[in-house]
Structure 1
Amino acid sequence: MVMSEQGKGRPELARARKRLGMSQDEIAEALWVSPTTWSRWERGKQKIRPVYRARMAEVFGVDPIEVERWVDGGQPVDTEAWLCPDFSDLSLPATVEAAGRLWRCDVDPERRHLLATLPFVPAALGGWLSAWSYGAPVTSAARQASGPLVGLSDVQRIVEARQAFGQMDHQFGAGLVRPAVVDYLNTVVAPLLRGRYNDKVGAELMTAAASMTQMAGWTAFDLGRHGLAQHYFGQALKLSKASSDALTGVWVLTSMTQQAIWLEHPSQAVWLARAAVDAARRAQAPPRVLAPLLVREAWTTALLARQADTLDTHAAKQVEQLLAGAEQAYAQGSTDRDPVWTTWCDEPELGSEIGLCWELLGKYDRAAHLADFAVREFLERRPRSAQINRMNAADAYLGMGEVEQAIDSARAAIPMARSLTSVRSVERVRKFSDRLEPYAATIHVKEFRAYLNSELAS
């Protein structure tokens, strides 16, 4: 008879939950069982069916054999099997070790497959956000070790590499750049984190590592690997906490917001967006940091109200006030405190997301105008952004009832989607095609769908 069946419980199962920063209610929701059932599992009072053991392996991001050890009350798990962000320990050593473990697993051919199949777990976000917002700050980012001495010049090289990877991502899509980003994290950043550095260098190093980890998460998101992206965003959030860098943290939060929007989790998206705005204000963020955060809050507010069918005058006014605040903040100009990532949030990018808010409010003409402007600005320097904004324009024209113009805009985006290594770009076109179903019998829609299928198939 196994230990759990002798009344000693399953301590490793409880430990697994706590490492994710989840309550019993939250993990039960992620596993599609009742909180009572989960509680009985932890206490060893109820057997766990194979289907739920398999689901646990997905949610916790471990090999199924590790789940069997937890369930049977075996020896403590091999820590190398842990891939998920552990927000129960925000110390510098634990943060460095967890990040390095994730990067190491992502370059391992055997473990990479497991990472790619990880599910997105919205229930985990609350614990992560709470730990990042209210957890005790790291007292010092210094590290004394036998590794190499790290200086600010080493950190600057990470910053420059991050900028180069970002430009490649915009130009070609995530499929081309992601392997290089993960390899860089594992071969360059990880050894530096294990080195020796003082508090000043350590703080800058953690910020640079957080930025590069966010890049790995973003590229996973662009490739449709949403559980993996969530894990990377979580590790980036932990690294920003270790650096005491609130502005990098809010950047990670706003990336997580966009992922929640894409996956149609508006409730989580709203409080991620609001948490980013609140943190930015507490840190007295520069106006060009605050502007895109306010737009994301407006976007999520409109999305949640529309999904709940409560997009009334009050909700619309709230969205408009947030957009006005964003435009006023952006108009104040840049400062010497602006972090590097604000360079990506330029006027066309901001206008693009403002247009999405207007589309949700039914202001389709304003949405189309902003999307078309973004296409013109991005066509040469950011092809993926241009492609996505062509689709934004198509949605706006469709909202106006201009079906032919909508199809023309979407049709122009198809060759771009085919040339980019971006799953998200392709999904964007297919979602628009699904919206054309009320017009499926028309010749324009039939021709568009035939062209779409032939182009993407080739």
Structure 2
Amino acid sequence: MGRRPKQPNHQLGELLYETRASRKGFARRIVERGRGIGIELRYDHTSVGRWLAGEQPTSPGPNLIAEVLTELCGRRITPSDCGMAVDRSAKSGLEFSLTLAGATASVTELWSSDVERRRFLEGTAYAVAVYPAASMRWLTLPGREHPASTTGLRRIGVSDIDALRTMTTAFRDLDNQVGGGKVRSTVVHYLHTSVAPLLRASYTEEVGRRLFAVTAELTKLAGWAAYDLEEHGLAQRYLIQALRMARAAGDTALGAEILAAMSHQATYVGRPGDAVDLARAAQIAARSAGLPALEAGCYMVEAHGHAARSDARSCANSLNAAEGAFDRDGSNRPPWLSYLDTAYMAAKAAQCFRDLGDNDRAAVLARRSLNMSDGYQRGKVFNLCLLASSLVAADPQEAVRIGTTALELAGTVESRRTYAYLRDVRARLAPYCEIPAVEEFRRQVTSARSE
């Protein structure tokens, strides 16, 4: 029997007719959206013709096509609306589950799929709608949950949770020292092989709350490591599930921290409006938790979102609020908040001023940010790049000197974000190519291993 011929995709054809978009222009928009999330695509007008003839693009093509059509049509368009086949497994981890049982099933399925390197997780795109939906459920899900279990064959207690916390601390320290690329697979394997069986064990509600809290920390760390590798779609899945685990634990402080991480990523991928919304949701949770330092961090990521939107006034308001909250800080911080110190605050403020074009103020703050605690090797690379980029206009040779130090340190960590920041310094130095030191630095950044 011969192969069944493809059927023309009339749904996609009707949508393209509605938007009056040319095939060439439509393909270009999809390629640009993919590039914005770190995915290089080679679509052109002939690709669109094949889709109209019935060919199905591989993931993340259907999602990107739907996102572009959503913008062009002014209403939400799903892959199904475009006549694209939907891989249900590809939604794994993207939903903030309404039930505790559903949450446990979702997070363990994500770990399992990741360990088994399921194809649908490879190169997944950043989905623009999932973070707003998850943050809304975080804020509105009613009632206190009761994470107790009597169905497992094994009974676990506080000693099991203490062991998880010890491992979590070790993984977090390694992530800061050597980058997400060197720890992500190990963390995910540990979640799958060691944490998943505990979630299926028997435990009291008090032990359950602690179990879900440390699970949230580890899942967030796996997501942050994926973000560090610029695997943005995968990072989203982990951060959404981490937020759900924090909700199950009743840990509003940890929820605020995870929402702030989502905001951080949203700014990075060019969604500053979403970043502001996520930061404000994080502030609500931080205030509820009674942690002024955490609230300060949430104001800082909001400020960064405003700076990315070139909204200097709103940025200044958020920076002032962050400073006021930080001044109220007490001594009751959880261990995972130890990074949020004066050096961190200076770095975030410097980034805001740099993005707003105030390089002099940015440079002063960036120098302060280098007075950071030991053990944050990746963060030091970021802060050196921040200082170098702030100095380019005033002293390109000094910018090269500092950038070279950052480049040398970058070789000790596995983080694609470090090379993104180095490439930013390189781009800012482009007008000074006639200076030999500048040209040599630019050459070194271009040839540096970035993965």
Indicate the TM-score class for this superposition, using the shorter chain for normalisation.
0.7 to 0.9
Tell me which residue corresponds to 2:375: 381
**Matched residue pairs, number?**
394
* 8 Å contact kept, 1:90–1:242: no
* Structure 2 residue 424 is the aligned partner of structure 1 residue 431: yes
Aligned CA distance change for structure 1 residues 448 and 194 (closer, same or farther; 3 Å): same
Q: Deviations over 1:341-371 (max 9, x none)?
A: 2112122112211211222344323321222
Aligned CA distance change for structure 1 residues 324 and 147 (closer, same or farther; 3 Å): same
> Residue 349 of structure 1 is aligned with which of 344, 350, 355?
344
State the AA in 2 paired with 1:374. Answer: S
* 8 Å contact kept, 2:60–2:125: no
* 8 Å contact kept, 1:117–1:225: yes
> Residue 95 of structure 1 is aligned with which of 96, 103, 110?
103
Question: What is the Cα deviation at residue 56 of structure 1?
Answer: 6.4
Tell me which residue corresponds to 2:15: none
> Residue 332 of structure 1 is aligned with which of 328, 331, 339?
328
State the AA in 2 paired with 1:123. Answer: A
Mapping 1:8-407, distance limit 5 Å: 49-51=54-56, 54-55=59-60, 82-87=91-96, 89-109=97-117, 111=118, 113-281=119-287, 283-304=288-309, 306=310, 311=311, 315-316=312-313, 318-336=314-332, 338-378=333-373, 380-398=374-392, 400-407=393-400
For 1:86 and 1:48, how far apart are their aligned partners in 2? Answer: 32
For 1:430 and 1:202, how far apart are their aligned partners in 2? Answer: 45
Aligned CA distance change for structure 1 residues 274 and 72 (closer, same or farther; 3 Å): closer
Aligned CA distance change for structure 1 residues 387 and 139 (closer, same or farther; 3 Å): closer
State the AA in 1 paired with 2:324. Answer: Q
Question: What is the Cα deviation at residue 158 of structure 1?
Answer: 1.6
* 8 Å contact kept, 1:137–1:242: no
For 2:167 and 2:255, how far apart are their aligned partners in 1? Answer: 19
Aligned CA distance change for structure 1 residues 104 and 428 (closer, same or farther; 3 Å): same
Segment of structure 1 superposing worse, 240-249 or 163-172:
240-249
Segment of structure 1 superposing worse, 403-412 or 435-444:
435-444
Aligned CA distance change for structure 1 residues 86 and 123 (closer, same or farther; 3 Å): closer
* 8 Å contact kept, 2:180–2:229: yes
State the AA in 1 paired with 2:239. Answer: F
For 1:162 and 1:195, how far apart are their aligned partners in 2? Answer: 20
Question: What is the Cα deviation at residue 286 of structure 1?
Answer: 1.6
Q: Deviations over 1:159-198 (max 9, x none)?
A: 2211111111111111111121111101111011111112
For 2:316 and 2:396, how far apart are their aligned partners in 1? Answer: 27
Aligned CA distance change for structure 1 residues 421 and 268 (closer, same or farther; 3 Å): same
For 1:303 and 1:180, how far apart are their aligned partners in 2? Answer: 34
* 8 Å contact kept, 2:247–2:255: yes
Tell me which residue corresponds to 1:9: none
Tell me which residue corresponds to 1:410: 403
State the AA in 1 paired with 2:154. Answer: P
* 8 Å contact kept, 2:100–2:248: yes
For 1:348 and 1:200, how far apart are their aligned partners in 2? Answer: 36
Aligned CA distance change for structure 1 residues 265 and 48 (closer, same or farther; 3 Å): farther
* Structure 2 residue 403 is the aligned partner of structure 1 residue 422: no
- Note the residue ranges of structure 2 that are not aligned, 5 or more in a row: 8-29, 34-51, 66-78
Question: Which structure has more helix as a fraction of its residues?
Answer: 1
* 8 Å contact kept, 1:132–1:237: yes
* Structure 2 residue 443 is the aligned partner of structure 1 residue 447: no
Question: What is the Cα deviation at residue 225 of structure 1?
Answer: 0.7
Aligned CA distance change for structure 1 residues 296 and 395 (closer, same or farther; 3 Å): same
Aligned CA distance change for structure 1 residues 130 and 350 (closer, same or farther; 3 Å): same
State the AA in 2 paired with 1:405. Answer: E
Segment of structure 1 superposing worse, 448-457 or 119-128:
448-457
For 1:132 and 1:228, how far apart are their aligned partners in 2? Answer: 20
Q: Deviations over 1:421-452 (max 9, x none)?
A: 11111121012212222333443321212232
State the AA in 2 paired with 1:254. Answer: A
TM-score (norm 2): 0.79
State the AA in 2 paired with 1:369. Answer: V
* 8 Å contact kept, 1:171–1:384: yes
State the AA in 2 paired with 1:91. Answer: T
* 8 Å contact kept, 1:59–1:118: no
State the AA in 1 paired with 2:411. Answer: R
Aligned CA distance change for structure 1 residues 72 and 256 (closer, same or farther; 3 Å): closer
State the AA in 2 paired with 1:196. Answer: S
Over the aligned positions, Cα root-mean-square deviation in angstroms equals: 3.2
Question: What is the Cα deviation at residue 106 of structure 1?
Answer: 1.0
* 8 Å contact kept, 1:375–1:387: no
For 1:359 and 1:57, how far apart are their aligned partners in 2? Answer: 36
Tell me which residue corresponds to 1:26: none
